[in-house]
Structure 1
Amino acid sequence: MNITFLGAAKTVTGSCYLIETRDTKFLVDCGMFQGRANEVLLNAEPFSVNPAELDFMLLSHAHIDHSGRIPKLYMDGFKGTIYATKPTVQLCGIMLPDSGHIQETENEWINRKRQRAGKAPVKPLYTVKEATDCLGLFKGVAYGEAFSVTEDIRIRFNDAGHILGSAIIEIWVRENGKDTKIVFSGDLGNKGIPILKDPVAISDADYLVIESTYGNRLHKLKKETDKLERFISIITETIEKGGNVIIPSFAVGRTQEIIYDLNKYMDVFGDAVNKILNIPVYVDSPLATSATQIFRENLDCFDEEAKEYIANGDNPLDFPTLKFTQSPEESRKLNEKTESTIIISASGMCDAGRIKHHLKHNLWRKESTILFVGYQAEGTLGRRILDGAERVKLFGEEISVNARIEAIDGFSGHADRAGLLSWVGGFAKKPKKVFIVHGELEVMNEFSHTLTDEFGLKCIVPTRGDSFVVTADGVYENIPDAQVQRRFRRLAVVEMLETLREEFEELAGILKGDLKQEKSDVEIDEVAAKLKLVEKSIVDALK
């Protein structure tokens, strides 16, 4: 069979893999690219395979960086079945239309800007209706039950412990009388994560495609109580100063985990938790509200601890001061409140949704705290804030970052290096080759060396567009797709220009703030001379 890496290759987002056998073509995941400017452009690019020629698709989980381009795939001609676990099907039922709403809203803003510039309007990537229409292709399957899609292809979904419904996918392909088994890890969760079961151990594989988000680091807070103690400390210190705690949180997974942990440790931390639970806690995301209800409807996916809470009559996803907002008006009123509040709002990387409004009203306040509880991809607003940006632009307005910025790794839904190594170490029969995906390039390279050092595994870090022939005999051949490579090469230049634009804006901001002549004229003259050289280079490039 042939496997082509169409996304999450040398980057964290856009998971998408094409598998071709003698008689069949199918995708594993079809995610949206997020963060970097050149990668976001890929969302609107034509698929490198004709969607109408695809026989089916396998979806590891509902997060938008794995599912977000399914509506476009459908619009471009795909009409096959999408196999996913039942909770994933349910979550996609709310997440994809929500993504369609975001596409429409952002497109309206873009078109107003284009209209003022005298340019023709453009269409959104897809609409709410188109996202809703594609849901008819989904088919729910159970964990742990192997099933045949064709005479030569068998599939099994296993619990990945990342979010509700997330799956490790085992695929057996029979060619020339021999079976070749390839395993996709999907996004692997931490062991002991609240609510969900631990990732299932896989016994064998000929080939492994594994995520590497945290492949070169350990989560700083290993004990659950350490994680929550720091969480409580940050909140109480902020409330004492009269500020708000703004938590950019992924609507599916982290939001429910935070609610669960606050409930779970009421007895352990006593007054500290009670103090927090007397403060209004708002989940300001209709998507998170709906997702929480889906969690409540899938108790069979919960771990034994969560099931025990429910059996004892305690709902671990609820407490008296927890409030869910629905309308935009309710969301706006949160920023009019004078008392301190905790606001949990999507999106988790701050690039869309209501969180941007709460950042606009709180980033400039020294008494408020922005608390990150999930991964922030390169190029996202969340990553810029976390990396120490002094100012950011929100809705065309420049906002100073004066708030306290904190991050707690312990809430991450991704396994860290130790977790990934533990899972790979569970293979009784190790894979012939390991393809490392879904990570930043430096992390993937480091994780590749770690797997080789620890287990003697031969690893490949594929580039987008790379294609490999894999067989039961372990032979592979790199077949670069010239058209795809050309496209990515041009987009790499676009990324360089976008980076320059951001740096120019930052430099302009610094110089505007230097009107009081804090810098010497010599320093300013040096900057001017360097900019002249850059200007000449750009003019030469345009020629």
Structure 2
Amino acid sequence: MAQLTFYGAVAGVTGSMYLLQTDHSNLLLDCGLFQGRREEEEANLKPLPFAVSSLDAVVLSHAHLDHSGRLPLLVAEGYSGPIYMTKPSGDLIEVLLKDAASLQERDVEWENKRLRRAGKPEVEPLYRAEDVQETLKLCQGLNYQQRISITEDVEVRFLDAGHILGSAIVELYISERGVEKKLVFSGDLGNSQAALLRDPEAVQSADVLLLESTYGDRDHRSMEDTLQEFEDVILEASENGGNILIPSFAVGRTQEIIFRLGELYQQGKLHQQAIFLDSPMAIAVTEIYHRYQNIYNAEDKAAIETASLTASAKERSLHTFLPILRYSISTDESMALNKVERGAIIIAGSGMCNGGRIRHHLKHNLWRKQSHVIFVGFQAMGTPGRALVDGARYFKIAGEEVIVKAAIHTLGGFSAHASQTQLIEWLGHFEGEKPRLFLVHGEENAKQALATVATTHGWRPHIAGLGEKVKF
């Protein structure tokens, strides 16, 4: 009998990790970082709750660090088996894990300076760049719909989850004593209103289903209304001459915003002189998106191709769709933008303004009443982005307080996650006897709300607990 143990993304939305044990195999499904408040991130420092030497394979749903970020730790502790994922996810985690290692090494370097001055023992980063290199050697990329055997009694197939490039719904087929059982992990399901990617694929059957519940308690604002407000802000800024700052996440959200700006450009509604993507990571990710245009949704792919007829098929991309897009790669190029006082749109990380180049642009623009800041992603409590959204009058950076005179806008429709209604609609594709349903990857109120609604549709959902074991 198979057993599933929930080791992460059960008390919140990060640290995704589940251990599947069968008669002949031990598989790890995701190996993500805990992210958020300090006490939440301290969970990353705890020993892994299983014997790494017992693992036969690892399966990754997608590249976001809350699903992939502890893979190098796994390898540093001795894992040397295969890590299965989609091919785009393999390209993305190279960028994300290298950046994560670099940030950890930098943060530890600063911390150790403080500890040395205090005469205290130094600390080590969670993992280093060399651990990432060893991890990448183990990655095996698969195509969507490709079903392969990964251990003696388990096969895997990835379906398109539509969340970010390469994101997957994971199907695991387990053969035990002549009987096949099927475990399905939704991964993070995408918002069907989002640009570029396809809608999450339907699944009709399973014995056990793990379903994310990030937005299990709400629906998103309609994309039509969101895009209209986006257009209104762009127009207002062009009329008063101010810059527009867009704090954005490097994977998914940035590429969506570039596409939406491209739509406005193609419609003749974008009057800004230039758009700057000021994030080396987001630039690298955007180039990866360019390589996988074959898995864009048909409508948006056709729009890019139609607008780029003068370019060769190989050259057609988000860049040709939005030809006034400029990359700011070096630090000098980024700093040069501080001298631009009007007519520019600057997209930079981090998405919650708690780090990255966006903070310097805020310093040079927040005090100008002509400036606009557009938040296109969730702002967690305690972050600088959330403070601005909540009406902070001052923004503090490097010990300096900057008065907030810029207009602050929040556009809630640009979510990369399925809403409550979309999650219930996805569940509606299951036929016959419903699988055992476990809700994961959500805050408590979101899981409870989704459980209540799912019950009215004939499901018997269970909210999984940390360390809980389920036999099937």
TM-score of the superposition, structure 2-length normalised? 0.91
Pair 361,311 (structure 1): closer, same or farther in 2 beyond 3 Å? closer
The residue type equivalent to 2:270 in the other structure is N
The residue type equivalent to 1:250 in the other structure is F
Pair 357,14 (structure 1): closer, same or farther in 2 beyond 3 Å? farther
Per-residue deviation, 1:437: 1.3
Per-residue deviation, 1:232: 2.0
Pair 65,397 (structure 1): closer, same or farther in 2 beyond 3 Å? farther
Pair 344,182 (structure 1): closer, same or farther in 2 beyond 3 Å? same
Alignment correspondent of 1:147: 148
2:3–2:20 contact (8 Å) kept in structure 1: yes
Taking only aligned residues, the RMSD between alpha carbons, in angstroms, comes to 2.2
More off after superposition, 345-354 vs 60-69: 345-354
Query: Does residue 283 in structure 1 map to residue 277 in structure 2?
Result: yes
The residue type equivalent to 1:33 in the other structure is F
Query: Does residue 347 in structure 1 map to residue 350 in structure 2?
Result: yes
Pair 108,244 (structure 1): closer, same or farther in 2 beyond 3 Å? farther
Per-residue deviation, 1:250: 1.5
Alignment correspondent of 1:207: 208
Partner Cα distance (1:111, 1:245) in 2: 38
Partner Cα distance (2:327, 2:199) in 1: 29
Alignment correspondent of 1:338: 341
The residue type equivalent to 1:137 in the other structure is L
Query: Does residue 274 in structure 1 map to residue 270 in structure 2?
Result: yes
SS in 2 for 1:84: strand
More off after superposition, 141-150 vs 456-465: 456-465
Pair 141,26 (structure 1): closer, same or farther in 2 beyond 3 Å? same
Report matched runs for 1:134-533 at 5 Å.
Answer: 134-223=135-224, 226-268=225-267, 270=268, 273-275=269-271, 278-312=272-306, 314=308, 315-318=316-319, 319-389=322-392, 394-395=397-398, 401-453=404-456, 455-469=457-471, 471=472
1:248–1:347 contact (8 Å) kept in structure 2: yes
Pair 11,403 (structure 1): closer, same or farther in 2 beyond 3 Å? farther
Per-residue deviation, 1:378: 4.6
Alignment correspondent of 2:30: 29
CA deviations 1:284-327 (Å, max 9, x no partner) are 11111111111111122111123323544614512232111111
SS in 2 for 1:133: helix
Identity %: 44
Structure with higher Rg: it is 1
Alignment correspondent of 1:111: 112
The residue type equivalent to 2:423 in the other structure is L
Partner Cα distance (1:169, 1:444) in 2: 21
SS in 1 for 2:83: strand
Per-residue deviation, 1:164: 0.8
The residue type equivalent to 2:273 in the other structure is I
2:242–2:341 contact (8 Å) kept in structure 1: no
Alignment correspondent of 1:506: none
Per-residue deviation, 1:169: 0.5
CA deviations 1:347-386 (Å, max 9, x no partner) are 3233333233334444455443332212334554434443
Pair 286,294 (structure 1): closer, same or farther in 2 beyond 3 Å? same
1:10–1:444 contact (8 Å) kept in structure 2: no
The residue type equivalent to 2:4 in the other structure is I
Count of equivalent residues? 462
Partner Cα distance (2:129, 2:338) in 1: 28
The residue type equivalent to 2:431 in the other structure is A
SS in 2 for 1:409: coil
2:261–2:270 contact (8 Å) kept in structure 1: no
The residue type equivalent to 1:451 in the other structure is A
TM-score of the superposition, structure 1-length normalised? 0.80
1:25–1:56 contact (8 Å) kept in structure 2: yes
Q: Which runs of 5+ in 2 are unaligned?
A: 309-315
Partner Cα distance (1:30, 1:393) in 2: 35
1:37–1:379 contact (8 Å) kept in structure 2: no
Partner Cα distance (1:46, 1:364) in 2: 46
Pair 458,321 (structure 1): closer, same or farther in 2 beyond 3 Å? same
CA deviations 1:127-159 (Å, max 9, x no partner) are 233223310010000101211112311111000
Partner Cα distance (1:173, 1:323) in 2: 49
The residue type equivalent to 1:144 in the other structure is Q
Alignment correspondent of 2:47: 46
Per-residue deviation, 1:84: 0.4
Pair 402,230 (structure 1): closer, same or farther in 2 beyond 3 Å? same
SS in 2 for 1:173: strand
CA deviations 1:416-450 (Å, max 9, x no partner) are 11111111111113533211111111111111111
Partner Cα distance (2:394, 2:76) in 1: 39
Partner Cα distance (1:345, 1:462) in 2: 36
Partner Cα distance (2:405, 2:235) in 1: 18
More helix by share: 1
Partner Cα distance (2:381, 2:206) in 1: 32
SS in 2 for 1:411: coil
Q: Which runs of 5+ in 1 are unaligned?
A: 472-543
Partner Cα distance (2:264, 2:239) in 1: 21
1:36–1:378 contact (8 Å) kept in structure 2: no
Pair 49,384 (structure 1): closer, same or farther in 2 beyond 3 Å? farther
2:191–2:416 contact (8 Å) kept in structure 1: yes
Partner Cα distance (1:57, 1:229) in 2: 43
1:187–1:414 contact (8 Å) kept in structure 2: yes
1:10–1:461 contact (8 Å) kept in structure 2: no
Per-residue deviation, 1:388: 4.4
Alignment correspondent of 1:516: none
Query: Does residue 97 in structure 1 map to residue 91 in structure 2?
Result: no
1:362–1:368 contact (8 Å) kept in structure 2: yes
Per-residue deviation, 1:60: 0.8
2:155–2:173 contact (8 Å) kept in structure 1: yes
Pair 443,232 (structure 1): closer, same or farther in 2 beyond 3 Å? same
